[in-house]
Amino acid sequence: MSEDERQDICKWVTNNLWSKLYKVGCNRLHYILIPDDSNILPLIWEIKDRIVKKEKMEGFKQEPTLKDFLAVIPKTGWIQKHTDRNIRELVHIRFNVFISSPKMGFKTYYDGNEVDTNESCYAVCRSGIDEHYTEINEDDVPRISLSFGYLVPFEKVDELTSDKSIGTYKFYPLAFSKK
């Protein structure tokens, strides 16, 4: 996304969405992203569509419990260590898009490895497999992120994460190789 798009999302959150965010544990704020919600900036769906096309996600099921959401982690907030629920043989994955990212005292971890949370970038989280969490945000800058969730087979997880690393987060194949 461009810097202008990132700034537009920050303004939208601050000016139009802040009062609609609801509190979740660990001093975090969320907003569920539902396609027919007129409060949602159309740019959010454009970003999701870009990811869907880039990562070839057409036809995969949306994760039904957490769905897609916007998350705000203000000063003193954090994400506790956890792994998300898979459904049968499908793995819960998330595309986490970082809109604003604190610069001090706030690191994100997937499977115990630090993840780069550069603004205007995204990371694939194998949230149904890898324990993921953050440190406490000690910065006045909140982390604002979009999180798009899917349920996919192991083979798709491997396709999304093979030969990639985000920060120092290394991905390892999950599917049995077919020899």
Amino acid type, 1: M
| Residues paired with residue 144 on neighbouring β-strands, in sequence order | 72, 100
Domain-embedded: residue 137: yes
Range of the domain at 49: 3-157
CATH number, position 119: 2.60.120.620
Determine how β-strand 143-152 pairs with β-strand 61-62.
antiparallel
Domain-embedded: residue 100: yes
What is the rounded average pLDDT of the residues 161-172?
Answer: 56
Domain-embedded: residue 19: yes
Spatial distance between the Cα atoms of 174 and 30, rounded to a whole number of angstroms: 31
- 89-134 per-position pLDDT tens digit: 999 999 999 999 998 879 999 988 888 899 999 999 999 999 999 9
What was the pLDDT predicted at 104? 84
Domain-embedded: residue 111: yes
Domain-embedded: residue 176: no
Domain-embedded: residue 71: yes
147 pLDDT more than 90: yes
* Residue 87: DSSP 8-state: B
Domain-embedded: residue 178: no
Spatial distance between the Cα atoms of 156 and 52, rounded to a whole number of angstroms: 13
Spatial distance between the Cα atoms of 154 and 174, rounded to a whole number of angstroms: 6
| pLDDT confidence band for 165 (50 / 70 / 90) | low
Spatial distance between the Cα atoms of 111 and 85, rounded to a whole number of angstroms: 15
Task: Please report, for residues 24, 52, 90, the alpha-carbon distance to residue 156 in angstroms, rounded to integers and kept in the order given.
Answer: 30, 13, 10
The more confident residue out of 147 and 176 is: 147
> How many domains is the chain built from?
1
Domain-embedded: residue 147: yes
Do 92 and 156 meet the contact criterion of CB atoms below 8 Å apart? no
- 32-78 per-position pLDDT tens digit: 999 999 999 999 999 999 999 999 999 999 999 999 999 999 999 99
* Residue 96: DSSP 8-state: E
| pLDDT confidence band for 171 (50 / 70 / 90) | low
The residue whose two tokens read 């190789």 is 177
Phi, psi (degrees; rounded to nearest 5) at 4: -60, -40
